[in-house]
Amino acid sequence: MLLIYSLHVTLSLQADTVEGIVVDAETRRPLVGVSVKAETKSDDWSSIRMGETDSLGHFKFEMWREGRTVFTFSFIGYRLHRSVEYAYGMESKDTLNIGTIALRPTAIMLQKVEVSAKMPRITMVGDTVVFHPEAFKLKDGDRLDVLIRKLPGVEQRDGKLFWNGKPIRLMMNGKDLFGGSSLVGQLPAEVAEKIKLYDKQSELAKHTQNDDGNAEQVLDIQVKPGFLDKWYGYAIGNVRTKREYKLEARAFQLSDKNPVMLFGNLNNENLATELGHEWYTAWDIDHYGRNQYATANYQHNWETKGTDEGTNNYVNVGPSMAHRDGWGTDFESTDYFLPGQERSFSLSRNSYDSHELAPKLLSEGFFYTDSINQFEYSAAVGYTKTDRHSETLRARFDTNPYRFGDFPIEESFAAAPGSDLYHHLVMRDRSYQSSIKEQGDVQLDLHWTHFMGQKGSYGVQATTNFAHALSREHYNRSIWQQGNETQLWQYGRKPDTEWKSHLTASLSYWLGEKLLVDLSNSVGYDDLNHRNDFYADTNAAKLRGDVPTTVDETNSLRERTHAWNNTMKLGTTVSLSERLKLKPLLSWTETSEKTTYHRGRLDTVARRTSSVFSPEVKLLWKNGRKEGLDLSWNYTTTLPALLSTLAYEDTTDPLYISYGNAALKRQHDHLFGLKYHRMFPRQQLNLLFSFDYKHTVNPLTTAFSYDDATGVYRAKPMNVRGGNSYKAGLDYDQGLGVYWRVHNNVAVEWAKGHGYLLAKDFSRPLQLNPIHRLSFTDKLEVTYESEHWIIRPYAEYYYNRYRYPVASANNSYSIRSFYGLETTVKAGQFRLISNLIDVYRAGNVAGFDGHRLLWTVKTAYSFLKNKATIALEMADIFNREVNFMSRSEAYSRTEKWYETNHHYLSLSFGYQLDPKPKR
């Protein structure tokens, strides 16, 4: 009897299961649509099952009959392949994996037929998202970070990876990756066989076998065999016009047991760098800058007997040395709003340079001493010396200064009596400042945890931070007010010491299978000692060198603060169902503070005892990895700093005087958040919707008064009427076939707040000024990637509208948009990259509105099997880029801009050290 079964029908009866994968023997790519026949024979019957491989080359059979089974694999253009196994039929419910079946192409196939197995970018295996690197278009020599940035839903911000807005822990072969996200920028993309995204249980959940809701998102790179225990690295050299340069090198040994990293950077391209055992950061030093940085990192990994699989013990150490210089010039224009139609205007230009030396030593460790005791620590010792010099020009007017020219700051200092500009000039000030600050830091964090089987865990954590600093500041001010010129020399010596320590005991305990209780109590002690020995003279005869000798009692101060705080937290995790968890948390902080403060005529001892309750509730719903909903609400209370509640007066800057305010109240915030994400693997679509609401009571702000005769501003902290904000966002990320990707991120926000208009003085009632803000953001990109082309049209649009109901004359708006076309053309070993952008601004005062066309072109040639690259770049060919920003408050509108080196010609050479994998 012949029984023919179809694979298109799935039955739930018990049966033996056989599965495997079919690949091309030459390329190792999975083959889709391979015909698979499973024939089981006996003396008087034969059972045949027919099917084909899916999009991953995977096949799976349920075998109903016991006996010897012949599997036959056939595919057009490939040689027939057979294998023999034994099936146990309905007597078994085991799964037999017969492994990978490699089909060899026929001669005709090799000569004439080109087959491409088009894999989906995303598949789901249980609750794990699997990204398939071979489904993404990559260039020869691309690094892992290029691949990771292409993964749907994955983004990189400030050197950290996120998926659907949540942070990602980077791992390799199930272990933490030494080097973190910095390493993926150096490893070749070809090392990745698969990339998995899944939730990694917390240490508590692993021991108790109960989900505590604290799982971390993990991006786990599955490395192909033979790529471990090898040295990788790179070196790059770059020269630019204007005598700029960069030299950078990194070497690292990729190892499961003793990884090592060496790194050095030398440049005057304004790039600061820092590297740790699992992080890398780079940022602008200033508008221009120089950087010299070197570090070495070593880590030892081991396993403790009796611990769960995947538990990785490590200890690492990383010394570093940094030397940085920065310099630049800031231009600022501010329009202050007075009651009625009155306004005050201010211009400033600040030119400066700084020098910094910063050696540091870091060490971290995590390990189990046995199967139930875990210990971790982090330690840091550092020293920083900063030397800074600046020249500041400030001018204030009773009318719009742009009547007299484009940012007329120099004209203000040259204005002669009788001129129109001189008539509207309220104040001008030229000041020189120099400062030297030295600071030493010691930080230590120790944490011990004991696990109580499936019941939970308890532990103790101790932290201490100590810092000592000494600052020496010199000022030389030339102030013109009401036709009179005053020369003022000032000097301040500021020794500061801070010591903060905390001791925390914690308990996590499961009450049954559905309820987890978290209880902790933390006791902290802070000891702060600040001093400022301040001197000021207006008579050059009293100077000793360029240092004043007359004590300025008003600005000399002594401050000593002792603070005890006790924080108790009670949290629970309630498993309402397999998919739904409720996580309430209540924090209670009791603080006792004492500050002894002496400044000028103020000599006081301030004491404050406060209690703050902070409730929080989270509701987490997860439908595997495909779908999830997070709801959160929390209530926070912010106390004003005790110092700000003292009635002090700070006249260090005689043109900007600040005060304390004994009447300050607490600020309270209610925050509600919602995040919903949904994946559609077949459509290669990822959606993320978010909504946030915030209500603030007694928000802390700053009120200003202005003396229109002297041009002096005074600032005082105040509470103001509360406000609300609503923000909604949608992130749409979809792959369309093999070549196309569409990504759109849209957000809209409406906020209502309050502030005070600029007052004449604080003795009169302040006029409240509501502000309504509407913001809209849209970021859209469409990417086409083929073997020779990458075409990415993109658009970014930012709109802000500000409305002042009681001072409508100050209503304003701002628009900033970018419409660009980024194109990459690859022909052999040559690459041409072009980025053409139209930047548009509107609603500004300082003359930067309108369109600016920016164009950067880079060409590169790779050789030595794509390990070496030489590149030529022309940046901002039309020399039109400008760095500009604006900010609107209830009392002012400020515009700020500065120059950088954006228009240059660059020549670079880079070399990647990629060792051959072990066979």
What pLDDT digit, counting tens, does each position of 740-760 carry? 889 999 999 999 999 998 888
Give the range of the structural domain holding residue 73, as residue numbers without chain letter: 16-103
The Cα–Cα gap between 314 and 291 comes to 31
pLDDT digits (tens, 9 = 90+) for 868-884: 999 999 999 999 998 99
pLDDT value of residue 684: 73
Indicate the pLDDT class of residue 108, thresholds 50, 70 and 90: very low
Q: Same structural domain for residues 731 and 790? A: yes
What number of CA atoms fall less than 13 Å from residue 400's CA on the CB side? 7
pLDDT value of residue 917: 61
Of 647, 605, 606, 492, give the one whose Cα is nearest residue 555: 492
pLDDT beyond 50 at 417:
yes
pLDDT beyond 50 at 5:
no
Number of domains in the chain: 3
Of 735, 609, 587, 711, give the one whose Cα is nearest residue 150: 735
* CATH number, domain with residue 219: 2.170.130.10
Indicate the range of 76-85, 481-490, 742-751, 823-832 predicted with least confidence: 76-85
The Cα–Cα gap between 78 and 553 comes to 93
What number of CA atoms fall less than 13 Å from residue 292's CA on the CB side? 7
* CATH number, domain with residue 38: 2.60.40.1120
pLDDT value of residue 14: 37
Return the SS3 of 410.
helix
Indicate the pLDDT class of residue 25, thresholds 50, 70 and 90: confident
Of 224, 249, 244, 220, give the one whose Cα is nearest residue 234: 249
pLDDT value of residue 207: 66
Q: Same structural domain for residues 206 and 270? A: no
- Residue 627 or 35, more confident: 627
pLDDT value of residue 110: 42
Both tokens of 894, joined, read: 């400020």
**Strands of 12-94, DSSP E:** 16-24, 35-41, 46-52, 58-63, 66-74, 81-88
Q: Same structural domain for residues 271 and 323? A: yes
- Residue 268 or 510, more confident: 268
| Mean pLDDT of the 757-766 span | 86
pLDDT beyond 80 at 248:
yes
Indicate the pLDDT class of residue 308, thresholds 50, 70 and 90: low
DSSP β-ladder status, 667-680 and 627-638: antiparallel
pLDDT value of residue 479: 95
* Contact by Cβ (8 Å): 575, 581: yes
Residue 630 lies in a domain: yes
- Residue 188 or 839, more confident: 839
pTM: 0.75
Give Cα 240 distance to the centre of its chain.
29
Q: Same structural domain for residues 648 and 696? A: yes
Q: Same structural domain for residues 142 and 96? A: no
| Mean pLDDT of the 100-106 span | 83
pLDDT beyond 50 at 192:
yes
Of 449, 430, 456, 588, give the one whose Cα is nearest residue 515: 456
SS (H, E, C) 490-542: EEEEEEEEEEEEEEEEEEEEEECCCEEEEEEEEEEEEEEEEEEEEEEECCHHH
Give Cα 165 distance to the centre of its chain.
10
Burial of 130 (0-12, 13-18, 19+ CB in 10 A): buried
Indicate the pLDDT class of residue 28, thresholds 50, 70 and 90: confident
Collect all residues with Cβ–Cβ distance below 8 Å to 439 and sequence separation of at least 6: 383, 384, 385, 467, 468, 469, 470
Residue 549 lies in a domain: yes
Q: Same structural domain for residues 470 and 534? A: yes
Across all residues in the chain, what is the average pLDDT?
86
pLDDT digits (tens, 9 = 90+) for 591-642: 999 999 999 889 999 999 999 999 999 999 988 767 889 999 999 999 999 9
> How many helices and strands, by DSSP H and E, does the chain display?
6, 50
* CATH number, domain with residue 817: 2.40.170
Of 332, 127, 415, give the one whose Cα is nearest residue 895: 332
Q: Same structural domain for residues 49 and 135? A: no
The Cα–Cα gap between 85 and 38 comes to 10
Indicate the pLDDT class of residue 43, thresholds 50, 70 and 90: very low
**Strands of 737-849, DSSP E:** 740-756, 768-785, 789-803, 812-827, 830-842
Collect all residues with Cβ–Cβ distance below 8 Å to 484 and sequence separation of at least 6: none
Of 244, 282, 245, give the one whose Cα is nearest residue 263: 282
pLDDT beyond 80 at 125:
no
The partner residues of 811 in beta bridges, in order of sequence, read none
Most confident among 247-261, 273-287, 424-438, 501-515 (mean pLDDT): 424-438
pLDDT beyond 80 at 433:
yes
pLDDT value of residue 91: 42
Indicate the range of 31-40, 178-187, 885-894 predicted with least confidence: 178-187
The Cα–Cα gap between 714 and 659 comes to 8
pLDDT value of residue 709: 87
Collect all residues with Cβ–Cβ distance below 8 Å to 577 and sequence separation of at least 6: none
Q: Same structural domain for residues 166 and 49? A: no
Phi, psi (degrees; rounded to nearest 5) at 183? -70, -35
Indicate the range of 63-77, 222-236, 321-335, 654-668 predicted with least confidence: 63-77
Indicate the pLDDT class of residue 343, thresholds 50, 70 and 90: confident
pLDDT value of residue 113: 34
Indicate the pLDDT class of residue 147, thresholds 50, 70 and 90: confident
Residue 317 lies in a domain: yes
Most confident among 19-33, 169-183, 210-224 (mean pLDDT): 19-33
Indicate the pLDDT class of residue 90, thresholds 50, 70 and 90: very low
Q: Same structural domain for residues 599 and 679? A: yes
How much of the chain, in percent, has pLDDT values that exceed 90? 55
The Cα–Cα gap between 429 and 431 comes to 6
- Residue 896 or 80, more confident: 896
Indicate the range of 180-184, 363-367, 700-704 predicted with least confidence: 180-184
Residue 242 lies in a domain: no
Residue 409: its H or E element = helix 409-414
The Cα–Cα gap between 411 and 391 comes to 17
Residue 110 lies in a domain: no
- Residue 793 or 141, more confident: 793
Collect all residues with Cβ–Cβ distance below 8 Å to 881 and sequence separation of at least 6: 839, 852, 854, 902, 903
Of 255, 253, 271, 252, give the one whose Cα is nearest residue 263: 252
Indicate the pLDDT class of residue 185, thresholds 50, 70 and 90: low
How much of the chain, in percent, has pLDDT values that exceed 70? 86
DSSP secondary structure letters along 543-591: -BTTB--SB-TTT-EEEEEEEEEEEEEEEEEEESSSSEEEEEEEEEEEE
Structural domain ending residue among the three candidates 212, 228, 244: 228
Q: Same structural domain for residues 526 and 556? A: yes
The Cα–Cα gap between 166 and 154 comes to 9
* Contact by Cβ (8 Å): 781, 796: no
User: The tokens 């046995």 sit on which residue?
Assistant: 370
| Mean pLDDT of the 543-549 span | 92
Residue 7 lies in a domain: no
Of 56, 51, 60, give the one whose Cα is nearest residue 31: 56
Residue 918 lies in a domain: no
Q: Same structural domain for residues 213 and 267? A: no
Q: Same structural domain for residues 769 and 870? A: yes
Indicate the pLDDT class of residue 352, thresholds 50, 70 and 90: very high
Indicate the pLDDT class of residue 914, thresholds 50, 70 and 90: confident
pLDDT beyond 50 at 718:
yes
Residue 95 lies in a domain: yes
- Residue 403 or 187, more confident: 403
| Mean pLDDT of the 372-396 span | 96
pLDDT value of residue 722: 95
| Mean pLDDT of the 552-571 span | 95
